[in-house]
Amino acid sequence: APQYNYILASRPADGVGLITLNRPKALNALSSPLFEELNHALAQFDEDDGVRALVLTGSEKAFAAGADIKEMKDKEYSDVFKAKFLENWSLVTQIRKPIIAAVSGYALGGGCELAMMCDIILASPTAVFGQPEINLGIIPGGGGTQRLTRAVGKSLAMELVLTGRNFTAAEAASWGLVSRVSENVLDDALAVAGNIASKSAIAVQAAKEAVNIALETSLTEGVRYERRVFHGLFATKDQKEGMAAFAEKRKPTWAHS
Ligand code: CO8
């Protein structure tokens, strides 16, 4: 396995890849070097046929306390423009395998945005979410104004982005931003990933793609897209196997193709 400085990558269970943000002295503040490593690990897991679901987590104290403010503070417009700052901080949204964020502690600013780029968020009761950028004289830059608005609606998103106030795991769950609050958030995220990894990988990836289309297009186009993908799955071994296994009253053995 490659050696990283700011993350850890492991394979804790069959079919499951785990990435742990590991910059404890800065509460996992997100930096360009950290994202280079995260992108590398994500790409490797996405290519690896033995991995079918991913978990992204941080520490007990922090999922990530946002983008690295010390790295950003002296930058000028021309610096961030020329360097295409943040452009490669969203590769996580291009990954085909499902990614479950297991959030404990601070998920602020870019940390909240990174969690929202994942497919499922599970939160510990200790999780503290927020988009505090307004307090730094900036606005969210990793999709916060867009993904939070789609997740919780305009009024709440406006309140949260304009005041920068923190919000709790319980609030996030009641709004549907996180799927549930869990005392053992990493174990539960690994269990969800293990469950997903036990399904047909090709069907799982098709399902993820279809759900994501719901956020990008009209209902009519989305339903048409879903039907086309549904039709396409009749060309897979796993559709044959899944339906044969049902008819024969046995468990399917997936080819993942
Ligand atoms: N950047 C750099 N360093 C940080 C950050 C950060 N975001 N957060 C914490 N640290 C550092 C602290 O400076 C401190 O370092 P040191 O020991 O050298 O002084 C260390 O981590 C521990 O932090 P604290 O001593 O502050 O710990 P506390 O427990 O007292 O407080 C808080 C924890 C409340 C989380 C506090 O650290 C804090 O407010 N952090 C900043 C939160 C914030 O404003 N985040 C938003 C940043 S802007 C942003 O994210 C833009 C998004 C860009 C897009 C990203 C796309 C993915």
Name the residue of 30, 56, 69 to mutate for ligand 1: max ligand atoms within 8 A of Cβ. 69
Cα four-point dihedral sign 161, 158, 141, 34 = positive
Q: How far is the CA of 28 from the centre of ligand 1 (A)?
A: 8
Q: How does pLDDT run across 118-145, given as a tens digit for each residue?
A: 999 999 999 999 999 999 999 999 999 9
Residue-level pLDDT at 245: 98
Q: How does pLDDT run across 192-223, given as a tens digit for each residue?
A: 999 999 999 999 999 999 999 999 999 999 99
- What is the signed CA dihedral for 43, 49, 53, 57, rounded to 10 degrees? -40
Q: How does pLDDT run across 33-79, given as a tens digit for each residue?
A: 999 999 999 999 999 999 999 999 999 999 999 999 999 999 999 99
Q: In the annotation, is 110 catalytic?
A: yes
Atom of ligand 1 nearest to the CA of 106: 35
> Once rounded to an integer, what is the mean pLDDT over residues 9-14?
98
Q: In the annotation, is 50 catalytic?
A: no
Tell me which residue has its CA closest to atom 13 in ligand 1.
Answer: 26
Q: How far is the CA of 210 from the centre of ligand 1 (A)?
A: 36
Mean pLDDT of the chain: 97
Q: How far is the CA of 108 from the centre of ligand 1 (A)?
A: 8
pLDDT at residue 23 greater than cutoff 90: yes
